[in-house]
């Protein structure tokens, strides 16, 4: 395996990287701080915008994790292709409610949970990923959820994630409630370099592996999109190990990228 060649304990850019630290980016940290500000100000809804691969899902997951550590009821819901049953299951799991098969019983649990949170003086959070690709029927569930929160007089903060070009498909009913917009932008070359260094360090590497020129090529080829940075870097590590190289230079990285082709990323 390429791990042994590079002296790695885990895959720095593969599936195992999900357990490693969040992307190294000042923009990521600022976006997280703005979401927390929305929550502290008792905001009803926020809109997270960013191109595919810029880290929206990672940010929502981190926001919910932080919220739970502060004792809040927080649920991350995947909206792409979601059904009503999957929505109810994800919300129940996030709010730590027992699973039930009956839809109306599930809603009764949500109502009871919101009342409990009011007495505990605790807010509820729901983050909807891929809100622009969520079926209209599921988006209507958020209106019902907000109505329950209003009845219980409980703070409910909703965060919707979407790509900028398709945000209009979320619908006026939810967009009209947006109080804060947060934009995730591609990384700078410095942020790309910091991310690679952090991932390699977390995976046990004692060497930088990528030359400065390779990092510059990585940033250019990926456009600073975090997902593409990881994909290209992973390809380069595999190629370099196969060639028994001692480091990844710009030529090796570019050839690895071209072998798969831009359409494969």
Using DSSP's 3-state secondary structure scheme, residue 200 falls into helix
Mean pLDDT over the full length of the chain? 92
Strand order of the sheet with strand 45-50? 73-78, 124-129, 156-162, 45-50, 180-184
SS (H, E, C) 1-25: CHHHHHCCCCCCCCHHHHHCCCCCC
- Which is it for strands 45-50 and 180-184: parallel, antiparallel or unpaired? parallel
CA atoms within 13 A on the CB side of 88: 19
pLDDT tens digits, 122-166: 999 999 999 999 999 999 999 999 999 999 999 999 999 999 999
CATH, range 26-184: 3.40.50.300
The pLDDT assigned to 76 comes to 97
Q: How far apart are CA 92 and CA 35, in angstroms?
A: 22
Cβ contacts of 228 within 8 Å, gap of 6 or more: 53, 221, 222, 265
Which secondary-structure segment (H or E) carries 72? none
pTM: 0.87
pLDDT band (50, 70, 90) for residue 212: very high
Does domain 187-264 match CATH 2.60.40? no
Show me where the domains of the chain are located.
Answer: 26-184, 187-264
Q: How far apart are CA 188 and CA 164, in angstroms?
A: 20
Judge if 26-184 and 187-264 fold alike in CATH terms: no
In sequence order, which residues have a C-beta less than 8 Å from that of residue 55 and are 6 or more positions away? 23, 25, 28, 184, 226, 227
Q: What is the pLDDT of residue 14?
A: 72
Classified as helix, coil or strand, 71 is: coil
Q: Which two tokens stand for residue 33?
A: 């701080």
**CA-to-CA distance for 205 and 91, rounded, in angstroms?**
39
Region 163-174 average pLDDT:
94
Output the pLDDT for position 19.
46
Reported as a single tens digit per residue, the pLDDT across 99-110 is: 998 999 999 999
Q: Tell me: the pLDDT tens digits for 13-30?
A: 976 554 455 556 788 899
């Amino acid at each position: 395996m390429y791990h042994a060649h590079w002296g790695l304990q885990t895959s720095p850019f593969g599936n195992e990287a999900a357990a490693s630290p969040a992307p190294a980016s000042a923009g990521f940290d600022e976006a997280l701080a703005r979401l927390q500000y929305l929550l502290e100000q008792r905001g009803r809804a926020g809109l997270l915008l960013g191109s595919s691969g810029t880290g929206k899902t990672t940010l929502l997951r981190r926001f919910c994790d932080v919220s739970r550590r502060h004792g809040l009821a927080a649920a991350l819901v995947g909206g792409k292709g979601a059904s009503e049953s999957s929505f109810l299951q994800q919300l129940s799991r996030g709010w730590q409610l027992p699973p039930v098969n009956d839809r109306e019983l599930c809603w009764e649990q949500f109502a009871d949970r919101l009342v409990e949170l009011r007495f505990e003086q605790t807010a509820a959070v729901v983050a909807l990923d891929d809100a622009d690709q969520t079926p209209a029927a599921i988006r209507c569930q958020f209106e019902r959820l907000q109505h329950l929160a209003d009845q219980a007089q409980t703070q409910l903060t909703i965060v919707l994630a979407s790509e900028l070009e398709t945000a209009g498909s979320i619908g006026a009913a939810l967009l009209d409630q947006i109080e804060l917009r947060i934009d995730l932008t591609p990384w700078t070359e410095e942020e790309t370099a910091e991310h690679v260094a952090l991932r390699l360090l977390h995976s046990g590497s004692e060497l930088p592996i990528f030359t400065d020129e390779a990092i510059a090529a990585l940033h250019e080829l990926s456009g600073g999109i975090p997902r593409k940075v990881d994909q290209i870097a992973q390809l380069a590590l595999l190629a370099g190990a196969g060639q028994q190289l001692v480091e990844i230079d710009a030529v090796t990285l570019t050839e690895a990228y071209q072998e798969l082709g831009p359409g494969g990323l």
